């Protein structure tokens, strides 16, 4: 039996066996009161450490290979953080006000800023606390005179409080078999990096730094979300066999990735990819995805300055051209006040999740929105593109966008700029209001897309990252299941397609239910698409329909979970263990 078993959020699937290696110096920071005459010296030391970090990051950014060029922007943002007055001035003031050493003042400041970001409603912005902590760790190590660690020889499992792109660029990743971090979430840099590099990874592991030991043998199970520290011979034998089985399964799904996602009784579904930047297109091509079900456009707006129309046009046109003839669904700018803090002075809201975000923000800030729509219309001539509007709560919002599109068409025509006319327009169904009027929206739109993450969040009136109410983040809740069925039926009555782009689509249990409800397309990160298509080919539409009907008739979540487990085991057998699933493992408090 393993010495200890810890649990985290699986963000990159797979199984890794190796020894623990800490990325950063894990020694406790110095906590020391200082006499007044030492205050200037400590402040000078902190400024010098921050300057040293900026220099080191600049060198790292210059060494970033072209295939990971998007991480230069992240490293540049960390360089800015290392000179950000909110960080440095607050720490310098703490040294003077509290009479404490630089390291202690820095730790207190970093923790304060991280808590501020963790309290934000937007998941992407919440995960940006990782940037702050990463910079803080670097400055702390520089203060302590710790030299950057060189990659050790041999297989290892990288353990860190946080892992930033700059950290990764300084490592020899050939020796990294798995990644484990205390911080981070599904949209954190660690998650995105590990999925792109196909390294098994867990984030959000409580007690990791206190429990793990340097050079200790360990096992990362990126399928079930656990890490075994100090495994015994039986653990090693079991997970070695499971790792090899999983590896063979992955190779098989990739070899067959180009096969259609067609169920045993002939019903075909589109399995699409979710993308965040053009740099993910190689992974998209390898995944066998039937198009891009969701292209997140907001990340171009988080680099310090608002992008120009030409910059957006080049990005969108490149994506459309490389994905052609497959369709790319571009979600228009999905930001709120918090997410725009780096690029513009925007209003502060007490609850951004319920405030000016998504389409509400765009219709308020039409200069930003029209620039993006012009770029999208122009890029549409390069291939097959569609537009998707986020955070819709009323028909008037869709009609306003259609009016703006007509005006932009006339502008572009007058300027003799080539552009697409009549791009398909869809809406995200992610608010209770949109669910209740989905029949009305379906008559106004060309397709519907269900964002299950936010839909559950709003239906259940919870913050899914609040541990006190996390048990209510339950996809099998009758309200969620009935809402999904209502949306899919409404779209089909109007003869339009309905897709699902939230995490539920990548969960085998959720996928089986969605197929039974008649969804037309599902989309997930490219690394999950081959497995999704492989699973679809092993299911029967009739079986999924019976399962969905039973789920919809039941009001007991535990009974639903048992039914799903039984049906999937019948269809998938041992392969079910190779699909990352959360629906079967949740429990009530």
**Which residues are catalytically annotated?**
189, 501
Q: What is the DSSP string of 53-108?
A: HHHHHHHHHHT--GGGTTHHHHHHHHHHHTT-HHHHHHHHHHHHHHTB-HHHHHHH
Residue 352 in tokens? 């951004």
The residues, ordered by sequence, that sit 6+ positions from 552 with a Cβ below 8 Å of its Cβ are 478, 481, 482, 485
3-state secondary structure 311-354: HHHHHHHHHHHHHCCCEEEEECCCCCCHHHCCCCCCCCCCCHHH
**How many residues in the chain?**
589
The residues, ordered by sequence, that sit 6+ positions from 436 with a Cβ below 8 Å of its Cβ are none
Cβ atoms 53, 138 nearer than 8 A: yes
Closest CA to 174 of 150, 202, 155: 155
Output the CA–CA distances (angstroms, integers) from residue 246 to 217, 478, 519, 546, in the order listed. Answer: 21, 33, 28, 30
Q: How many CA atoms lie within 13 A of 535 on its CB side?
A: 33
| Angle CA 425–431–434, to nearest 5 | 55
Cβ atoms 94, 105 nearer than 8 A: yes
Which backbone phi and psi does 359 adopt, to 5 degrees? -65, -25
Sheet containing strand 226-229, strands side by side: 4-7, 226-229, 217-221, 15-22, 156-160, 176-181, 201-203, 9-12
**C-alpha–C-alpha distance, residues 125 and 138, integer Å:** 21
The secondary structure element, H or E, covering residue 228 is strand 226-229
Q: How many CA atoms lie within 13 A of 174 on its CB side?
A: 3
**C-alpha–C-alpha distance, residues 381 and 371, integer Å:** 17
Residue 44 in tokens? 């000078």
Q: Give CB contacts under 8 A, 24+ apart, made by 30-33.
A: 30/101, 30/103, 30/104, 30/144, 31/100, 31/101, 31/103, 31/104, 32/100, 32/101, 32/104, 33/98, 33/99, 33/100, 33/101
Closest CA to 303 of 342, 347, 333: 342
**C-alpha–C-alpha distance, residues 332 and 388, integer Å:** 6
| Angle CA 457–165–91, to nearest 5 | 85
Cβ atoms 333, 301 nearer than 8 A: yes
Sign of CA dihedral 2, 581, 189, 454: negative
């Amino acid at each position: 039996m393993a010495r200890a078993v810890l649990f985290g959020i699986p963000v990159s699937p797979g199984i890794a066996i190796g020894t623990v290696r800490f990325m950063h110096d894990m020694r406790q920071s110095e906590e020391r009161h200082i006499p007044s005459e030492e205050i200037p010296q400590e402040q000078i030391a902190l400024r010098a450490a921050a300057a040293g970090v900026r220099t080191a990051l600049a060198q790292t950014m210059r060494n970033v290979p072209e295939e990971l060029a998007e991480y230069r922007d992240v490293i540049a943002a960390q360089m800015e953080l290392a000179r950000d007055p909110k960080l440095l001035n607050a720490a310098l003031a703490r040294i003077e006000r509290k009479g404490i050493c630089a390291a202690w003042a820095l730790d207190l400041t970093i923790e304060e800023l991280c808590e501020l970001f963790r309290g934000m409603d937007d998941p992407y912005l919440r995960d940006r606390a990782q940037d702050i902590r990463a910079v803080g760790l670097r400055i702390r190590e520089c203060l302590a005179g710790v030299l950057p660690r060189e990659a050790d020889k041999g297989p290892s499992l990288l353990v860190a409080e946080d892992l930033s792109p700059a950290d990764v660029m300084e490592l020899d990743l050939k020796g990294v078999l798995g990644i484990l971090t205390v911080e981070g979430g599904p949209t954190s840099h660690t998650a995105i990096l590990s999925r792109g590099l196909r390294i098994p990874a867990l984030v959000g592991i409580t007690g990791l730094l206190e429990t793990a030991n340097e050079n200790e043998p360990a096992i990362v199970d990126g399928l079930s979300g656990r890490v075994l520290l100090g495994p015994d011979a039986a653990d090693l034998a079991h997970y070695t066999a499971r790792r090899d089985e999983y590896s063979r399964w992955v190779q098989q799904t990739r070899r067959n990735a180009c096969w259609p996602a067609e169920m045993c009784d002939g019903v075909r579904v589109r399995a699409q990819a979710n993308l965040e930047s053009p740099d993910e297109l190689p992974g998209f091509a390898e995944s066998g995805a039937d198009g891009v079900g969701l292209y997140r456009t907001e990340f171009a707006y988080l680099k310090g300055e608002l992008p120009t129309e030409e910059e957006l046009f080049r990005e969108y046109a490149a994506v459309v051209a490389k994905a052609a003839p497959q369709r790319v669904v571009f979600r228009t700018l999905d930001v709120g006040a918090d997410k725009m803090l780096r690029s513009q002075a925007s209003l502060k809201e007490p609850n951004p999740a319920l405030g000016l975000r998504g389409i509400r923000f765009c219709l308020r800030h039409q200069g930003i929105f029209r620039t993006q729509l012009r770029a999208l219309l122009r890029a549409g001539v390069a291939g097959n593109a569609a537009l998707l509007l986020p955070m819709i709560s009323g028909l008037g919002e869709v009609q306003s966008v259609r009016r703006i599109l007509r005006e932009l068409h006339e502008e572009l025509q007058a300027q003799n700029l080539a552009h697409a006319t009549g791009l398909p327009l869809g809406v995200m169904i992610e608010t209770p209001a949109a669910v209740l009027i989905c029949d009305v929206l379906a008559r106004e739109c060309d397709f519907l897309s269900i964002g299950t993450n936010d839909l559950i969040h709003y239906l259940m009136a919870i913050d899914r990252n609040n541990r006190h109410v996390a048990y209510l983040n339950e996809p099998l809740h009758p309200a969620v299941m009935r809402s999904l069925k209502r949306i899919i039926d409404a779209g089909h009555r109007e003869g339009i397609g309905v897709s699902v782009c939230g995490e539920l689509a990548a969960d085998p249990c959720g996928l089986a239910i969605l197929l039974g409800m008649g969804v037309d397309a599902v989309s997930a990160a490219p690394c999950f698409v081959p497995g999704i298509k492989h699973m679809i080919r092993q299911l029967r539409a009739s079986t999924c329909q019976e399962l969905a009907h039973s789920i919809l008739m039941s009001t007991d979540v535990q009974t639903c979970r048992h039914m799903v487990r039984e049906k999937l085991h019948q269809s998938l057998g041992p392969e079910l263990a190779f699909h990352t699933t959360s629906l079967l493992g949740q429990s009530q408090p």
